Amino acid sequence: MTSTLNISDLTKTFTGVKALDAVSLTVAPGSRVALLGHNGAGKSTMMKIILGLLPFDAGTVTVCGAAPGSAEARRQVAYLPENAAFHPALTGEEQIGHYLALRGESPKTARALLERVGLHDAARRRIGTYSKGMRQRVGLAQALIGKPKLLVLDEPTSGLDPVSRRDFYALLDGLAAEGAAVLLSSHALTEVEARTDQIVILSNGRMAASGTLSELRRAAALPVTMHVTARNGYGSEIADALPGAIRVGADLHLSCGQDEKLDILACVTGLGDKVADIEMMPPSLEDIYSHFSRRDGQ
Amino acid sequence: MNRILATAKTEFRIALRNRWVAIAIGLMALFALVLSAAGSAPTGGLGVDRLSVTVASLTSLSVYLVPLIALLMSFDAVAGEVERGTLPLLLTYPGARAEILFGKLLAHLAVLSLAVVVGYGIAGAVAFWADPASAAGLPALLRLTWTSILLGATFLGAGYALSSLARRPSGAAGLAMGLWLGAVVLYDLGLLAAVVADGGGRFTTEFFPIALLANPADALRLFNLAASDAAAAAAGVAGAAGSVPLWQSALSVALWPALALALATAAFRRVTP
Ligand SMILES: Nc1ncnc2c1ncn2[C@@H]1O[C@H](COP(=O)(O)OP(=O)(O)O)[C@@H](O)[C@H]1O
Ligand SMILES: [Mg+2]
Residue A284 banded pLDDT, cuts 50, 70, 90: confident
pTM equals 0.88
Q: Give the nearest ligand 1 atom to A15 CA.
A: 4
Phi, psi of A127 (to 5 degrees): -65, -25
Cross-chain Cβ contact A75/B88 below 8 Å: no
| Measured CA distances, A289 to A38, A130, A292, B70, B114 (Å) | 10, 33, 5, 54, 60
Question: How far, in Å, CA of B187 to CA of B178, rounded?
Answer: 12
Query: How many residues does this entry show for chain B?
Result: 273
Q: Are B229 and B48 in contact (CB under 8 A)?
A: yes
CA of A16 to the centre of ligand 1 (A): 12
List the single range of A85-89, A184-188, A203-207 with lowest mean pLDDT: A184-188
Q: Is A246 exposed, middle or buried (0-12, 13-18, 19+ CB in 10 A)?
A: exposed
Question: How far, in Å, CA of B49 to CA of B55, rounded?
Answer: 10
Question: Residue A136: what pLDDT?
Answer: 92
Cross-chain Cβ contact B85/A89 below 8 Å: no
Q: Are A150 and A66 in contact (CB under 8 A)?
A: no
CA of A204 to the centre of ligand 1 (A): 10
Cross-chain Cβ contact A81/B2 below 8 Å: no
pLDDT, averaged across chain B = 88
Q: Side by side, which strands form the sheet with A150-153?
A: A77-80, A150-153, A181-186, A32-36, A198-203, A206-211
Per-residue HEC secondary structure of A150-187 comes to EEEECCCCCCCCHHHHHHHHHHHHHHHHCCCEEEEEEC
Q: What is the DSSP letter of B271?
A: -
Q: Count Cβ neighbours within 10 Å for each residue of B235-261 and write b for 16 or more, e otherwise.
A: eebbebbeebeeebbbebbeebbeebb
Cross-chain Cβ contact A102/B13 below 8 Å: no
Whether residue A166 has pLDDT greater than 90: no
In chain A, residues with a C-beta closer than 8 Å to the C-beta of B93 are 74, 99, 102-103
B243 touches chain A (CB under 8 A): no
Specify the higher pLDDT residue, A277 or B82: B82
Question: Residue B229: what pLDDT?
Answer: 55
Question: How far, in Å, CA of A197 to CA of B254, rounded?
Answer: 59
Q: Are A111 and A97 in contact (CB under 8 A)?
A: no
In chain A, residues with a C-beta closer than 8 Å to the C-beta of B2 are 101, 104
Question: How far, in Å, CA of B70 to CA of A64, rounded?
Answer: 41
B113: number of Cβ within 10 Å: 17
**Chain A residue whose CA is closest to B83:** A85
Chain mean position to CA B93: 32
Whether residue A106 has pLDDT greater than 70: yes
Residues 87-116 of chain B whose Cβ lies under 8 A from any Cβ of chain A = 88-89, 91-95
Cβ within 8 Å of residue A46, ≥6 positions away: A7, A10, A12, A20, A23, A35, A202
Question: Residue B30: what pLDDT?
Answer: 95
Residue B233 banded pLDDT, cuts 50, 70, 90: very low
Reported as a single tens digit per residue, the pLDDT across B32-80 is 999 888 765 555 455 677 888 888 889 989 999 999 999 999 999 999 9
Residue type present at position B188: D
Whether residue A32 has pLDDT greater than 50: yes
Question: How far, in Å, CA of B212 to CA of B222, rounded?
Answer: 8
What CATH number is given for A223-282 in this structure?
3.30.70.120
Reported ipTM: the value is 0.89
pLDDT, averaged across chain A = 89
CATH topology (fold) of A5-218: Rossmann fold (3.40.50)
Question: Residue A298: what pLDDT?
Answer: 43
Reported as a single tens digit per residue, the pLDDT across A134-147 is 999 999 999 999 99
Q: Where are the domains of chain A?
A: 5-218, 223-282
Question: How far, in Å, CA of B2 to CA of A96, rounded?
Answer: 16
Q: Is A225 exposed, middle or buried (0-12, 13-18, 19+ CB in 10 A)?
A: middle
A96: number of Cβ within 10 Å: 27
CA of A6 to the centre of ligand 1 (A): 22
In chain A, residues with a C-beta closer than 8 Å to the C-beta of B91 are 53
Question: How far, in Å, CA of B69 to CA of B52, rounded?
Answer: 25
Reported as a single tens digit per residue, the pLDDT across A211-221 is 888 888 888 88
Protein residues with CB under 6 Å of any ligand 1 atom? A 14, 17, 19, 37, 39-45
Most B CBs within 10 Å: which of A54, A64, A87, as the mutation test of the B interface?
A87
Reported as a single tens digit per residue, the pLDDT across B111-138 is 999 999 999 999 999 888 888 888 888 8
Residue A271 banded pLDDT, cuts 50, 70, 90: confident
Question: Residue B137: what pLDDT?
Answer: 85
Reported as a single tens digit per residue, the pLDDT across B148-172 is 999 999 999 999 999 999 989 999 9
Question: Residue A113: what pLDDT?
Answer: 94
Question: How far, in Å, CA of A287 to CA of A293, rounded?
Answer: 10
Q: List beta partners, residue A78.
A: A151
Q: What is the mean pLDDT of residues A222-242?
A: 84
Q: What angle do CA B107, B110, B114 make, to 5 degrees?
A: 145
B17 touches chain A (CB under 8 A): yes
Q: What is the mean pLDDT of residues A86-105?
A: 96
Residue with CA closest to ligand 1 atom 17: A42
Distance from CA of B28 to the nearest CA of A (A): 25
Cross-chain Cβ contact A81/B272 below 8 Å: no
Phi, psi of A54 (to 5 degrees): -125, 140
CA of A91 to the centre of ligand 1 (A): 31
Question: How far, in Å, CA of B80 to CA of B225, rounded?
Answer: 38
Q: Of the bound ligands, which one is closest to the alpha carbon of residue B88?
A: 1
Q: What percentage of chain A reaches a pLDDT higher than 70?
A: 97
Question: How far, in Å, CA of B120 to CA of B142, rounded?
Answer: 9
Cross-chain Cβ contact A98/B93 below 8 Å: no
Whether residue B234 has pLDDT greater than 70: no
B13 touches chain A (CB under 8 A): yes
CA of B159 to the centre of ligand 1 (A): 30
Q: Are A72 and A66 in contact (CB under 8 A)?
A: yes
